[in-house]
Amino acid sequence: MKFTYSKQVLALVAGIMTCATQAAETVKVGILHSLSGTMAISETSLKDVLLFTFDEINKSGGVLGKMIEPVVVDPASNWPLFAEKAEQLLVKDKVSVVFGCWTSVSRKSCLPVFEKENGLLFYPVQYEGEELSQNIFYTAEAVNQQAIPPVDYMLAEGKTKFYLLGSDYVYPRTTNKILKKYLKSKGIPDDDIEEIYTPFGHTDYQTIVASIKKFSSGGKACIISTLNGDTNIPFFKEFANAGLTSENCPVVSFSISEDEFRGLPAKQLAGHLGCWTYFMSIKTPENKKFVGDFLSWVKKPKVTGVDYTVSGVDPNGRVTCSPMNLSRMGVYLWKQAVEKAGSFEVDKVRVAMAGQKFRGPVCEVTMQENHHLVNDVFIGETLPTGQFKVIKTFKSVAGEPFSAKFLK
């Protein structure tokens, strides 16, 4: 009996030691993206590219010798739920870093949690600026990197009337507030600027498109669109049905990438514009490898500890896009900072992030002291295939979160 008891104790101790060893050999990393609801059309692919990147890094030895263990949560396009899920990741799951959010309202919802718990969030989607937190690294396009360049392009093309159409939340409203000041500084009067917002998931665009048709009837008009999520589908379908085209009223969309075009009538929308820091169509050896590796991975994803029947990697018709690229580069910048700091501690990693460089698929980026990237910017024209043809490039544009610094 005594021998049996000792054997059980030893087995228990061995089990505990095995679990401790396994835990010590991994580092938990959070994914905070909507996998259901109105924003799933955009955010699911960011979750996928993060899992792909973790797998890519794990195959090359991990981070500081530890394998990345992803913890995937679904805030379900519910803005208060982002805060709850962020707290779960930081307090319960004890992740070292979180990659996630798309809308600014979701980011602002969970920002107090990251600041309270001293967590670290990498935010990969274009946004309105006017914010800077020591707990967030903004890898995506600021207003001066995405909104200002195509407005300048439209002005140079002779456009004098601007219809600002957006989803009703902080990113479109703040971006358009900045753009209205910018347009006025360029001599565009108030009467030639319209500003309209619709709720998330809005489906009836008949009245708005009729208004756009009237607004653009005299020529020299364009639309600056900050519509987010699946509401783009009914808008563009109604736009096309009304006989509006890129010839009589071009649309510049800030939230439609190659990924969103998979659900849109791309052939009818050829000629419209997007502005991003990455396009799938850009031909470089690095981009060819990134695209090829990702498309191969989605056919046979392999990440330890992730149930793909739940996380929903769909291998059909996949593409890459700017938010996906920025998500991936954020992981590598974090990895490099961790290795420079020799630690996963947030305070040490934060310091090590400044000045980090990474050669991405289309250019080298640099992380600035203001937690924004220096990155190349591209204006692209949509093709019937749902891809973009680059028509203008801006080299090494430094992201600036505060509009007062670039509004004259």
Q: Which domains does the chain have, with CATH numbers?
A: 26-141+282-375 (3.40.50.2300), 144-281+377-405 (3.40.50.2300)
- What is the predicted pLDDT for the residue at 235? 94
Interval 118-139: pLDDT, tens: 999 999 999 999 999 999 999 9
The residue that leads in pLDDT, 368 or 311, is 368
Closest CA to 79 of 99, 95, 100, 101: 101
| Residue carrying the six token digits 């046979």 | 300
pLDDT higher than 80, residue 356: yes
- What is the predicted pLDDT for the residue at 306? 56
Please, which residues have CB within 8 angstroms of residue 207's CB and are 6 or more apart in sequence?
none
| Residue carrying the six token digits 């501690």 | 345
| Residue carrying the six token digits 């309105």 | 128
pLDDT higher than 50, residue 113: yes
Measured between alpha carbons, how far is residue 379 from residues 77, 226, 276 in Å? 29, 16, 7
Measured between alpha carbons, how far is residue 336 from residues 55, 344, 396 in Å? 16, 11, 21
Average pLDDT over the chain, rounded to an integer:
91
* Burial class of residue 219 in the structure, from the number of CB atoms within 10 Å of its CB (0-12 exposed, 13-18 middle, 19+ buried): exposed
Q: Where does the pLDDT of residue 269 fall: very low under 50, low under 70, confident under 90, or very high at 90 and above?
A: confident
pLDDT higher than 90, residue 285: yes
